[in-house]
A and B are shown apart, each in its own frame.
Chain A
Amino acid sequence: MRTKKPPMSASHIVLQIVMVVVALIFLAPFYFLLVNSVKSLGDIMVDAANWPTAFHFDNYSKAWEMTRFPEAFTNSIIITVISNLIIALLSAMAAYRMVRSNTRFNRIVFMLFVSAMVIPFQSIMIPLLQVINFLGVNNSIVGLILSYLGLGIPLSVFLFHGFVKGIPLEIEEAATVDGASPFKVFARIVLPMLKPMMVTVIILNCLWVWNDYLLPSLILQSPELRTIPLATFAFFGQYSKQWDMALPALVLGITPIIIFFLSLQKYIVEGVAAGSVKG
């Protein structure tokens, strides 16, 4: 951001120290988690704060197998990626059309989307399961993705709607004059311009879908369909006092999303800011 750093005043040095201490407090739970995940249960019980005396990395291989981590990871990836792609595309299309064709019908639909954002999931989950059963997609990834589509679209449409309003019409008009069909205009011209908001929408929805527990717990019953939160919950229920098993399972569970965050943190932080200020 800034190229040269002016010297710090005394109060800034105090502030600096305070912030570093607060950051260490924020990180402390991760220290406890990591350090104890490679201890034997006996060592954890004796002293949970110390550095391990012996490293039991086999804790991890046990947790890896017993949570069926590769399977849960694959399920989580499939569900997150597919729902995200569809939500982003459908919401972008709907928001684009609503802005460009400002009819009464479209205004009402937009109002419905905005109002739906206040509905808590718990208020619709019971009948939603009925609908999912009725459609015959209970206990399937299709049923789960289908639910995510409807639940994710309102906020995403809202975010795209605000963004499309800022795109000048002239470019699209020029393309239309040149003989491009409306669909081509959208795919070739509008969609690329939506990219910044696309990133925001995908990031917000990724964090939500990846971490969601309640909805998948209601729709997916078969153990082989479990996502990471479901697999962790099931495992933790069985081994809650066996910390040498539970802790490595938790580390495995949070690793993918932490890597995702650290490698894309610039976009994630910007996306969060961009996604909220519009409210």
Chain B
Amino acid sequence: MNSKRTAALTQQLVYIGPALLFFGITIIIPFVMGMYYSFTNWNGVSGNVEWVGLDNFKQIFTNDSAFAQSFWFTTRFTIVGVLLTNVVGFFLAYFLTKNIRARNWLRTIFFMPNVIGGLLLGFIWQFIFVKGFATVGEVTGIPFFNLPWLGDEVTGFWGIVMVFVWQSSGYLMVIYIASITNVSKEVMEAAEIDGANRFQVLKSIIVPLIMPAVTVCLFLAISWSFKMFDLNLSLTKGGPYRSTESLAMNVYNEAFLNNRYGLGTAKSLIFFLVVAVITLIQVRLTKQKEVEA
């Protein structure tokens, strides 16, 4: 009996031990430490850590216009980014499941931007915005290309949105394709026989049946856009005048540029709570819309 328990314990240790150990070191411990630091005035360098209670949070909510601005920027970016990536991703998938040629090639092309990291993508697009758009604008005379891309708040915002959509919609497309292919041909044919037009099939049959994929894609798009950092860094660095600074970048700057680690961890804690709440609400809401085929 006893040896059996020892054996079970050994197995538990061998199988779960290492995973739990690394998880503890890199996530649990820092997370708990972060909660502690968010109530201190730690500057990251000196050993001098003073408990300041809720001061950091008070400062963030009442006296930090940059944080408020980055929050607003991130919120707008998330709304626009999530909508556009999902609409583009869905329609690419919808059309690629139709009877057209070279579907695999097209799928490969639409997915490709996604395998390149946000940092390099952002640099590539910096060139496109600065030189490529200018040249196209000269040749065609279309005013859209002659805007001061990335140079002011509006073009900075839409520039990041554009690259984000270009990067992410292919990923969501792959998920939507898998889901649309699973909608049974019989259901769709039955609807067509009953006289439903394409739009009705799309609205009343395909969309309800792929709601599980919608849940996943919204979840992914929300967490990508809310946590967006690399694209921000490589496209605008938050400028001009911090007008395109994302929340993630605001947290980063507070800690590593201003050396206010205590304040930075407080911001990161708020950041975590917002991400957690938004994604939980979203998953709950869209799960309700899922139906059985």
A binds B: yes
A126 contacts B265, CB within 8 Å?
yes
B15 contacts A94, CB within 8 Å?
yes
A233 contacts B119, CB within 8 Å?
yes
Tell me the minimal C-beta distance from B96 to chain A in angstroms: 7
**Residue A116 is within 8 A (CB to CB) of chain B in the complex:** yes
- Per the bound structure, the CA–CA distance linking A97 and B255 in Å amounts to 39
Contacts of B126 in A (CB 8 A): 240
B98 contacts A260, CB within 8 Å?
no
Q: How large is the interface on A (under 10, 10 to 19, 20 to 34, 35 or more residues)?
A: 35 or more
**Residue B203 is within 8 A (CB to CB) of chain A in the complex:** no
Stretch from B77-85, B99-107, B150-158, B189-197 forming part of the interface with A: B99-107
Please, which residue of chain B has its CB at the minimum distance from the CB of A241? B130
Q: Known contacts A15-B100, A23-B109; is A48 also within 8 Å of B134 by CB?
A: yes
**Residue A82 is within 8 A (CB to CB) of chain B in the complex:** no
Number of interface residues of B (CB under 8 A): 98
Task: Give the interface SS of chain A, mostly helix, strand, loop or mixed.
Answer: helix
- Per the bound structure, the CA–CA distance linking A247 and B27 in Å amounts to 37
Contacts of B255 in A (CB 8 A): 125-126
A16 contacts B132, CB within 8 Å?
no
B23 contacts A116, CB within 8 Å?
yes
Contacts of B69 in A (CB 8 A): none
Q: 1/0 contact trace for B158-202 toward A, CB 8 Å?
A: 000000001000010011011100000000000000000000000
**Residue B65 is within 8 A (CB to CB) of chain A in the complex:** no
Most buried by A among B25, B31, B265: B25
**Residue B149 is within 8 A (CB to CB) of chain A in the complex:** no
Find residues 23-46 in chain B having any chain A CB closer than 8 Å to their own CB: 23-31, 33-34, 37, 44
- Per the bound structure, the CA–CA distance linking A155 and B95 in Å amounts to 31
B264 contacts A126, CB within 8 Å?
yes
Q: Which 4 pairs of residues, A with B, have the shortest CB-CB distance?
A: A211-B117, A150-B26, A97-B15, A94-B19
Residues of A within 8 A of B (CB): 5-6, 8, 12, 15-16, 18-20, 22-23, 26-29, 32-33, 36, 44-45, 47-49, 90-91, 93-94, 96-98, 101, 106, 109, 112-113, 116, 118-128, 130-131, 135, 146-147, 149-151, 153-154, 157, 182-183, 186, 207, 210-214, 218, 229, 232-233, 236, 240, 243, 246-247, 250, 253-254, 257-258, 260-262, 265, 268-269, 272-273, 276-277, 279
- Between A and B, 21 residue pairs with Cβ closer than 8 Å are A8-B100, A12-B99, A15-B95, A26-B166, A44-B131, A90-B22, A91-B19, A94-B19, A101-B8, A119-B272, A126-B30, A126-B268, A127-B29, A146-B25, A157-B19, A214-B230, A250-B127, A257-B116, A261-B112, A268-B111, A272-B171
